[in-house]
A and B are shown apart, each in its own frame.
Chain A
Amino acid sequence: MAEVTKVAVESLDTLEEKLTQELGYDDHFHEHHHGDKYQSNFLTTYIFSTDHKIIGRQFLITGIFWALMGALMSLVFRLQLGFPEADLAWLKPILGKWIQVNDAGIGKLDPEFYYALVTIHGTVLVFFVLTAGLSGTFSNILIPLQVGARDMASPLLNSFSYWFFFLASVVMFLSLFLSTGPFSGGWTAYPPLSALPQASEGSGAGMTMWIVAMALFIVSALLGGINYITTVLNLRTKGMNLWRMPLTIWAFFITAIIGVLSFPVLLSGVLLLMFDRSMGTSFYLSEIVVGGQILDRIGGSPILYQHLFWFLGHPEVYIIILPAMGIVSEVLSVHARKPIFGYRAMVLSMLAIAFLSFIVWAHHMFMAGVNPFISNFFVVFTLIIAVPSAVKVFNWISTVYGSNFRFNSASLFALGFVSLFISGGLTGIFLGNSAIDVQLHDTYFVVAHFHIVMGVAAFFGMFAGIYHWFPKMFGRFMNETLGKIHFWGTMIGAYAVFWPMHYTGMAGVPRRYYDGGASFDAFRHFTELNQFITVAAIIVFFLQVIFVVNFFYSIFNGRKVTTKNPWGANTLEWTTPINPGHGNWPGKIPAVHRWPYDYSKNGEEFVPQYVPLRAGEHDHGH
């Protein structure tokens, strides 16, 4: 778009400077920050930086590392599921004793390690990639830029937030090398399995390190969340009232509130688990005989842990999907050259989803042995969530209607997100209805549901965000051809991987079966389907490698951004210099006079937020 409206853009830049000079907010930034002592050398600039833009990129790159790790793990267990007869001896140099080579020289994956891979895959993708890598990255980069702030409310706590995440990553990574293996009891870590080292090898040192890593991660999430909330509430620029905030900011703000309210509950849950493991308490344990040994633990309840876990665990899926929703709303609107349809409905539906997310947690526990009467309430609240979700979907589709839709990697991923959110969201209506859940609970239907709706969809939101804001992050564009190959390949490939799992789930195949159900007559006839899924997963993995290559190649060699506002967007991040320094705006911070979605209004393709309302013009945010 750079040259498309070159003349217009140049005059717009002049206009922006003029307006900022006249109306902008002057916090005397220059007088306070002579010489920039905070970013004087490589270490303080790129490693221990307190600049939100660097911290955001640190979250992103750490997230990409974990995404690749998680994907590789999934390939190993997909090989086991798709090709159980295959010789995996070639993995022995990497996996060591977890590949057992028999007398015939055929290498087999150890079941214990299969479960460890499944567990760590789930944990790192949910928490390290789709929470830290998605919300951490974009909240950090976009909140100060889009609300018009110099940085986060507390840049120091913000940098601690990253470094606690980094520590959590290190601990989790090291746990992969334990002789007893990493934790292997599923990402939900239900006791008593997770509490009893006698019950599973992975519940020994692996689980201790898992708990430590999770505790560090929760600290990181809380430090980040408090900062995001404070920044949004206190550091908005002149004129940026709540109803003028872009939907990205609304999404990050609501996400942070959910996180701050729910993560401490998980922390308390895992701390009690730690007491049960190491101090002989019985919060979750009662009447247990394991390996012939009668334990003197009475009075606890494993269900209590499930309540504490899912009180975070369910809001957690919204912590993952809401930022993606915000990003998609913004990206769709910018590239549709059209206001987001139903801005207020979008905000209200996010608030409704956030509120409801706290009163639906036990829909993960219909079959856990809780009183069936209680489940009635959780069914009602769960299915109510379908209403705000439907509103959002209809609004996205209406945004595309009547647009002038620019197809590029960012907008394609936003479109793909809507498709995946529909497909995966609809299967939630089956699972949320407890009667149907009797059959589908813990089958591959659930695996298909959550991978599509919060796994792949959230990834698509993340990709849309990366392609869209890459110019802001690195001053260069990502390669569009590779981006489109990445999109179409992943769109088809992701459906090829997860759609067939609906069928195996309906046939009743339980999840987390090392042999994919081969020892059961009812489950064993999906050999070809499992092979198909595995092959599709391998192809999708290589498409992600293309993305990673494109990402790092473009950081250094991508096409350079030549104008401040390459997409013709309205939000404030595009008023900063192409490579914004510490403090984001060199002079005054622009003041805001309108909502961020004035696209194609009164014959103008876009009207940025810093442009004052014309005589008689109505601000649509209000």
Chain B
Amino acid sequence: MTALLIILCVILVGIVLVQIARIVELISQIKGEREVMRESSWWNAHLSLVFLVVFLAGVFLSSYYYRNELLGYGPHKAASAHGSDIDSMFNVTLFFTGLVFIITHIALFWFAYKYRWREDRKASFIAHDTRLEVIWTAVPAVVMTLLVVRGLDAWNTIMADVDPNEDYFEIEAVGQQFNWIIRYPGPDGKLGSRDFRLTTALNQVGQDFRDPKNWDDIIVAQECYLPVNKKIRVRIIAKDVLHNFYLPQFRVKMDAVPGMPTYFVFTPTKTTAEYRNELRKYPEYHKPYDPADPQGPKRWEKFEYELACAELCGKGHYSMRRIFRVVPQEEFDAWYRQQESYYLTQIRGKEEDPNKGKVLDIDPPAKDTLSPTPATLSKI
């Protein structure tokens, strides 16, 4: 019923508008075209001025209101080493573009207002001005050069791959419809090899278990932990369609492509706890996390780094959330030690296990006998 009333109202407003428009047109024919032109130019020139003021005021006020959403300000400061480069590039660009935005808008609408049609006015015949044109070609060119140089400097630093000799920690993110499979290398620090043809319901990412590097690999089912201030290299790949590995607070984003591993290297600089403390400074993060539970934890207390998908991958695209928790090294080590090898817990002895029947040195010692296994014997 309300919908019907709304539709009726809209139609009525429309009819009224059309009728007014017809009447105005009839009146204008009586007034004569010059008078109409004068009035129209006066009104619209002043409206242009009003628009200019309201628009610029709106831009400033809304930027102020949403200042805590702006990139690189307040709670939106990057939590990774390279992220601050991106934030500062953003702000340098914002400065130059903001300046141009304000000047050109004032010029455009002010000139339109000032030079509105008047019967006695004669427009000037200015076809071009070489000096002016050279200046306003050169100035943007110089500014663009500055932005390009700084931007590319940042870009090549950000995208630089790790040096094999340096200290870094590598994990793997595999995108599939509609979740992420995160694999850690285990105690050997090396991710085992994969072959998509080996994929089964159990062997989700197609690990090749003939490769001993796979034996200790961990597939994290819950929150993923990362050590703070440690260089992380994420090996990114997709099983089915394109996905995108997106960690907004770390300024990390890279497509996951089936058949072509990509990577992103970053160093988290703030632990989850530190980030929560940052958020604590802002009143909006003191609102309850769950609006239905006003007494419950506040937003800052529940903050987590979230992994999202940023490449359309199908109808569940919006729901590929995973939590990453950045902690001090000791805490990370403690968590890491608790994680169990996927191979040993899920695959060993099953159909997918190519080493079935063989004894491996990572097998836990059999409980009923204390005698050494052939594998350990051969080592001795």
Q: Name the B residues within 8 Å of A2 (CB-CB).
A: 33
Q: State which residues 343-369 of A face B: CB under 8 Å.
A: 343-345, 367-369
Contact assessment for A342 and B133 in the assembled complex, using a CB-CB cutoff below 8 Å: yes
Cβ-based interface call for B315 (8 A): yes
A-binding segment of B238-246, B331-339, B341-349: B238-246
Contact assessment for B44 and A484 in the assembled complex, using a CB-CB cutoff below 8 Å: yes
Q: Name the B residues within 8 Å of A491 (CB-CB).
A: 51
Closest CB in chain B relative to A530 CB, distance in Å:
13
Which of B70, B71, B147, B309 contacts A429, CB < 8 Å?
B147
- Count residues of A near B (Cβ-Cβ below 8 Å): 135
Contact assessment for A519 and B251 in the assembled complex, using a CB-CB cutoff below 8 Å: no
Provide the B259-299 mask, 1 if CB < 8 A to any CB of A, else 0. Answer: 11010000000000000000000001000010000000001
Q: How far is the CA of A436 from the CA of B88 in the complex (A)?
A: 9
Contact assessment for A435 and B155 in the assembled complex, using a CB-CB cutoff below 8 Å: yes
Q: Name the B residues within 8 Å of A391 (CB-CB).
A: 133, 136-137, 140
Q: Name the B residues within 8 Å of A398 (CB-CB).
A: 126, 129, 132
Contact assessment for A289 and B25 in the assembled complex, using a CB-CB cutoff below 8 Å: no
Q: How far is the CA of A373 from the CA of B60 in the complex (A)?
A: 38
Which of B37, B101, B127, B144 contacts A422, CB < 8 Å?
B101
Closest CB in chain B relative to A620 CB, distance in Å:
5
Q: How far is the CA of A400 from the CA of B22 in the complex (A)?
A: 30
Cβ-based interface call for B366 (8 A): no
Contact assessment for B40 and A407 in the assembled complex, using a CB-CB cutoff below 8 Å: yes
Provide the B234-257 mask, 1 if CB < 8 A to any CB of A, else 0. Answer: 000001111010101101111101
Cβ-based interface call for A492 (8 A): yes
Which of A289, A341, A520 contacts B127, CB < 8 Å?
A341
Cβ-based interface call for A43 (8 A): no
Q: State which residues 89-131 of B face A: CB under 8 Å.
A: 89-90, 93-94, 96-97, 100-101, 104-105, 107-109, 111-112, 115-118, 121-129
A-binding segment of B220-228, B316-324, B354-362, B372-380: B316-324
Q: How far is the CA of A480 from the CA of B214 in the complex (A)?
A: 73
Q: Name the A residues within 8 Å of B14 (CB-CB).
A: 542, 545-546, 549
Cβ-based interface call for A401 (8 A): yes
Provide the A293-322 mask, 1 if CB < 8 A to any CB of B, else 0. Answer: 010001011110000000000000000000
Cβ-based interface call for B367 (8 A): no
Q: Name the A residues within 8 Å of B289 (CB-CB).
A: 521
Closest CB in chain A relative to B374 CB, distance in Å:
35
Cβ-based interface call for A479 (8 A): yes
A429 with B93, Cβ < 8 A, contacts A196-B241, A434-B151, A439-B248 known: yes
Q: Name the B residues within 8 Å of A101 (CB-CB).
A: none
Contact assessment for B37 and A438 in the assembled complex, using a CB-CB cutoff below 8 Å: no
Q: Name the B residues within 8 Å of A226 (CB-CB).
A: none
Q: Name the A residues within 8 Å of B314 (CB-CB).
A: 115, 185, 193, 199-200
Q: State which residues 181-231 of B face A: CB under 8 Å.
A: 196-197, 199, 201, 206
Cβ-based interface call for A106 (8 A): no
Contact assessment for B148 and A199 in the assembled complex, using a CB-CB cutoff below 8 Å: no
A402 with B246, Cβ < 8 A, contacts A290-B241, A415-B48 known: no
Cβ-based interface call for A25 (8 A): no
Closest CB in chain A relative to B227 CB, distance in Å:
22
Which of A387, A520, A600 contacts B321, CB < 8 Å?
A520
Cβ-based interface call for B303 (8 A): yes
Contact assessment for B108 and A415 in the assembled complex, using a CB-CB cutoff below 8 Å: yes
Cβ-based interface call for B172 (8 A): no
Q: How far is the CA of A338 from the CA of B127 in the complex (A)?
A: 8
Contact assessment for B20 and A481 in the assembled complex, using a CB-CB cutoff below 8 Å: yes
Q: How far is the CA of A344 from the CA of B127 in the complex (A)?
A: 10
Cβ-based interface call for A4 (8 A): yes
Cβ-based interface call for B159 (8 A): yes
Contact assessment for A369 and B260 in the assembled complex, using a CB-CB cutoff below 8 Å: yes
Closest CB in chain B relative to A159 CB, distance in Å:
35
Q: Name the A residues within 8 Å of B251 (CB-CB).
A: 438-439
Provide the A438-461 mask, 1 if CB < 8 A to any CB of B, else 0. Answer: 111111000000000000000000
Q: Name the A residues within 8 Å of B125 (CB-CB).
A: 338-339, 599-602
Q: Name the A residues within 8 Å of B81 (CB-CB).
A: none
Provide the A82-103 mask, 1 if CB < 8 A to any CB of B, else 0. Answer: 0000000010000000000000
Contact assessment for A372 and B155 in the assembled complex, using a CB-CB cutoff below 8 Å: yes
Q: How many pairs of A and B residues are in contact by the CB < 8 Å rule?
A: 380
Contact assessment for A404 and B248 in the assembled complex, using a CB-CB cutoff below 8 Å: no
Q: Name the B residues within 8 Å of A292 (CB-CB).
A: 201
Q: Name the B residues within 8 Å of A404 (CB-CB).
A: 115, 117-118, 121-123
A406 with B41, Cβ < 8 A, contacts A303-B257, A400-B112 known: yes
Q: How far is the CA of A259 from the CA of B304 in the complex (A)?
A: 47
Q: Name the B residues within 8 Å of A549 (CB-CB).
A: 14, 18
**B96: nearest chain-A partner, CB-CB:** A429
Q: Name the A residues within 8 Å of B369 (CB-CB).
A: none
Cβ-based interface call for B85 (8 A): yes
Which of B34, B62, B105 contacts A419, CB < 8 Å?
B105
Closest CB in chain A relative to B192 CB, distance in Å:
17
Closest CB in chain A relative to B379 CB, distance in Å:
36
Contact assessment for B199 and A294 in the assembled complex, using a CB-CB cutoff below 8 Å: yes
| Most A CB within 10 A of own CB, among B17, B40, B62, B112 | B112
Cβ-based interface call for B179 (8 A): no
Contact assessment for A288 and B315 in the assembled complex, using a CB-CB cutoff below 8 Å: no
Contact assessment for A403 and B123 in the assembled complex, using a CB-CB cutoff below 8 Å: yes
Cβ-based interface call for B165 (8 A): no
Q: How far is the CA of A398 from the CA of B239 in the complex (A)?
A: 55
A412 with B262, Cβ < 8 A, contacts A4-B33, A422-B101 known: no
Q: How far is the CA of A115 from the CA of B125 in the complex (A)?
A: 52
A336 with B123, Cβ < 8 A, contacts A376-B156, A427-B97 known: yes
Which of A4, A367, A507, A542 contacts B76, CB < 8 Å?
A507
Q: Name the B residues within 8 Å of A373 (CB-CB).
A: 156
Contact assessment for A294 and B196 in the assembled complex, using a CB-CB cutoff below 8 Å: yes
Contact assessment for B62 and A503 in the assembled complex, using a CB-CB cutoff below 8 Å: yes
Cβ-based interface call for A423 (8 A): yes
A184 with B249, Cβ < 8 A, contacts A369-B262, A406-B117, A435-B86 known: no
Q: State which residues 409-435 of A face B: CB under 8 Å.
A: 412, 415, 418-419, 422-423, 426-427, 429-430, 433-435
Cβ-based interface call for B8 (8 A): no
What are 16 inter-chain pairs, A to B, with CB distance below 8 A?
A: A185-B314, A200-B315, A288-B196, A289-B206, A302-B260, A404-B117, A405-B111, A407-B48, A423-B101, A442-B310, A479-B25, A507-B76, A521-B306, A522-B248, A546-B14, A599-B123
Chain B residues proximal to chain A, CB less than 8 Å:
3, 10, 14, 17-18, 20-22, 24-25, 28-29, 32-34, 37, 40-41, 43-45, 47-48, 51, 55, 58-59, 62-63, 66, 69-71, 76, 85-86, 89-90, 93-94, 96-97, 100-101, 104-105, 107-109, 111-112, 115-118, 121-129, 132-133, 136-137, 140-141, 144, 147-148, 151-152, 154-156, 158-159, 176-177, 196-197, 199, 201, 206, 239-242, 244, 246, 248-249, 251-255, 257-260, 262, 284, 289, 299, 302-304, 306, 308-319, 321
Chain A residues proximal to chain B, CB less than 8 Å:
1-4, 90, 111-112, 114-115, 184-186, 190-193, 196, 199-201, 285-292, 294, 298, 300-303, 336-339, 341-345, 367-369, 372-373, 375-376, 379-380, 383-384, 386-387, 390-391, 393-394, 396-398, 400-408, 412, 415, 418-419, 422-423, 426-427, 429-430, 433-436, 438-443, 479-482, 484-485, 488, 491-492, 495, 499-500, 503-504, 506-508, 510, 512-515, 517, 519-523, 525, 542, 545-546, 549-550, 553, 559, 597, 599-603, 620
Extra contacts besides A191-B241, A484-B44, A559-B25 (8): CB < 8 Å: A367-B244, A367-B254, A390-B136, A394-B104, A495-B58, A499-B58, A523-B308, A599-B125
Shortest 7 CB-CB contacts between residues of A and residues of B: A286-B259, A508-B248, A372-B159, A407-B44, A287-B259, A433-B151, A513-B318
